[in-house]
Structure 1
Amino acid sequence: MQELLHKIVFVGGKGGVGKSTSAAAIAWQSALKDSKTLLVSTDPAHNLGDIFNQKIGGKITSINANLAALEIDPDIETNNYIKGVKENIKGIVHSGMVEEVHRQLDTAKASPGADEAALFDKLISIILEESERYDTIVIDTAPTGHTIRLLSLPELMGIWIEGLLQKRQKTNENYSQLLNDGEPVEDPIYDVLKKRQERFSAAREILLDPKQTSFVFVLNPERLPILETKKALELLDNYHLHVKTLIVNKILPENPEGEFLSKRKEHERQYVTMIEDTFNKQELFYVPLFSNDITDKQQLEHFSGYFQKG
């Protein structure tokens, strides 16, 4: 259970494996231990509201005394992100070019990766600012591919911004020597980039600190979720983000009735063995297949009880 109660807990996995329910259960366990907890959903198909049977949405909403939740809307965050960029270029871009630059920025909203950049910006704000108000932040991420791109952004964008900063600095030095008698040039763009670099660096430091951040993946005992999880863990390892905990969800009863379920159980045993062989370095938590969906706090507490060892 220790890996599930870090300062920051990312919960990922293939769509449909029970990721949101697992994230909600981790947050619920954290809150039960008197830890001030924030549960954040970045998955466009939000269903935290369904699990807690109350409207959550884009503002931090109280679930109980120790638990709050937030569903991030990628469209709203992309609009806010573009709006912020427009604010940053005020007074920098020539007045005759402002309209054209704004038009291009509005077009960029629909470009691939714009929503991820905006989402990452929001997550950085949550990790850096909300950390002061909460003991634990549990982040329910979108299905696997999106999660990988999101978690690799601190390193990728850090390198990109470092390159931009070096170019700006070189240009400013040349400009100073030629036109400004060697005096430093005020460059608001450089200042904005430097501030973003510092935020990315701070977020990356937290993400890479195993004492503060843990990564949990949810999978079912089936072939495709196993293969997808294996690929995801290998990719995250490349970014020095190591997954130490897996939740194996929807395990069938040990002695199922009927020929159909008995055959399914035989296959499942093979996949459980495959999971134990493939992920022998990870801690595994097994959660049974419930006869009904998790739709209230009592059921959620029962679900979260399977995260206890021993």
Structure 2
Amino acid sequence: MTCQVYFVGGKGGVGKSTTAAALAYRFSKEGKNTLLVSTDPAHNLADLFQQKEKKGQYIPVQNGLTLFELDPDQETVHYINQVKENMKGLVKATMIDEVHRQLDLVSSSPGAQEAAVFERMTTILIEERNKYDAIIFDTAPTGHTIRLLVLPELMGIWMDGLLERRRKVQENYSQLLYDGEVREDPIYEVLQRRKRKFAQVRELLKDSETTHFLFVLNPERLPILETKKAVEQLQSFGMNVKIIVVNKVIPEANLDSFWSKRKEVERAYLDEIKTIFSIKHLCYIPLLSNDIRSLSDIEAYAKYLELPEMLYS
């Protein structure tokens, strides 16, 4: 069986972590070895499963279900150390301390954590897929999610530019220093390896047979607008969101005057959702009377996830 990959996204507070947890719980109950990964710095999956938080560690939740919460700070340190390792032998000994100092400064710059988290996601997608039947990513709020998912495309283009510049530099050096004889370029080889890695992830993200995108929203104005933009942006990069989970839908029965008015407003938003996402599979989750606090609550939530068969292939 080919490992299936799922990305669950949405605006903060709409219930995407609960949806990701419920999906992972259902898969594990169906006998699928499942890895649930949180990329959101504000992790709460360990709390949902009543586990002690252990960022950066694999936590066995139950038979067939493992939880991994990324630690952005830890991943950034690891990422910078990898870069330092790649620089060994490529920089003069007298310069290495200054290079390391500059890299340490980079670790606190904007985008460093993002790149580090993406590096870990890439490793999981490429190196750990053979260990699991399903990998589910509970992503950070929408804007962060979009940046992470489009990074392979953007970095692939950027890498092409770097490789071309490096090739020209190497050719010039060969002409000037080695009478035109081609010499091995370790930097070029490092860049080539990273390009292949980005290309592999990019193809995986665009493979609709193995990678699935779910967006969770509430029937309210801002979540609808944000989800619409996110779906369109992913589509422009070749990633098709097929499933929209509409969470916290007010039940029809036994409504007092307050809830009747709220329901009237909600109906207009539900109609808007049907219109905007007419070609998507819509899954409706009712507003529940209690918070999700235990495995039994997650199991109850999972029963409402009426998702298409292709999600379980």
Q: Which range moved further: 82-91 or 55-64?
A: 55-64
Q: 1:6, 1:211 within 8 Å by CA — same for their partners in 2?
A: no
Q: Is 1:114 aligned to 2:112, yes or no?
A: yes
After superposition, residues 159-170 of structure 1 pair within 5 angstroms as 159-170=157-168
TM-score by length of 2: 0.95
In the aligned structure 2, how far is the partner of 1:14 from the partner of 1:128?
Answer: 27
How far apart are residue 74 of structure 1 and its match?
0.7
Contact 1:154 1:200 in 2 (8 A): yes
Match of 1:243? Answer: 241
Do the aligned residues in 1 keep the contact of 2:245 with 2:282 (CA within 8 Å)?
Answer: yes
Q: CA deviation at 1:254?
A: 0.8
Q: 2:10·2:16 contact (CA, 8 Å) conserved in 1?
A: yes
Taking the TM superposition and a 5 Å limit, the aligned residue runs for 1:4-153 are: 7-57=4-54, 58-153=56-151
CA distance, structure 2, for counterparts of residue 256 and residue 78 of structure 1: 52
Number of aligned residues? 306
SS at match of 2:90: coil
Partner of 1:217: 215
Helix, strand or coil for the counterpart of 1:116? helix
- Alpha-carbon contact 2:3-2:129 (below 8 Å) kept: no
Q: Which of 228, 233, 242 is the matching residue for 1:230?
A: 228
- Output the CA distance in 2 between the equivalents of 1:249 and 1:107: 42
SS at structure 1 position matched to 2:201? helix
Deviations 1:113-153 (A, max 9, x none): 11110010000000001101001100000000000100010
CA distance in 1, matches of 2:121, 2:274: 33
Aligned residues with identical type, % of pairs = 55
**Conserved 8 A contact 2:3-2:132:** no
Misfit runs of 4+, over 4 Å:
none
Instruction: Give, in angstroms, the shift of residue 178 of structure 1.
Output: 2.2
Residue 309 (structure 1) shift: 5.6
User: More displaced, 258-267 or 93-102?
Assistant: 93-102
Deviation (angstroms), 1:49: 0.7
Q: CA deviation at 1:101?
A: 1.4
SS in 1 for 2:79: helix
| C-alpha separation in 2, matches of 1:203 and 1:105 | 25
CA distance in 1, matches of 2:110, 2:19: 29
Give the superposition deviation at 1:181: 2.9
The separation in 2 between residues aligned to 1:308 and 1:9, in whole angstroms, is 16
Gaps of 5+ in 1: none
CA RMSD of aligned residues (A): 1.4
Match of 1:71, as an amino acid? E
> Which amino acid in structure 1 is aligned with residue 149 of structure 2?
L
In structure 2, give the amino acid aligned to 1:161: M
2:128 aligned counterpart, secondary structure: helix
Letter in 1 for 2:231: L
Quick one: distance in 1 between partners of 2:120 and 2:214? 21
Mean Cα deviation higher: 28-37 or 41-50 = 28-37
Unaligned runs of 5+ in 2: 309-313
Paired with 1:297 and 1:87, the residues of 2 have a C-alpha distance of 43
Q: Deviations over 1:251-288 (max 9, x none)?
A: 11112432111111111111111100110011011001
Aligned AA (2:163): L
Partner of 2:311: none
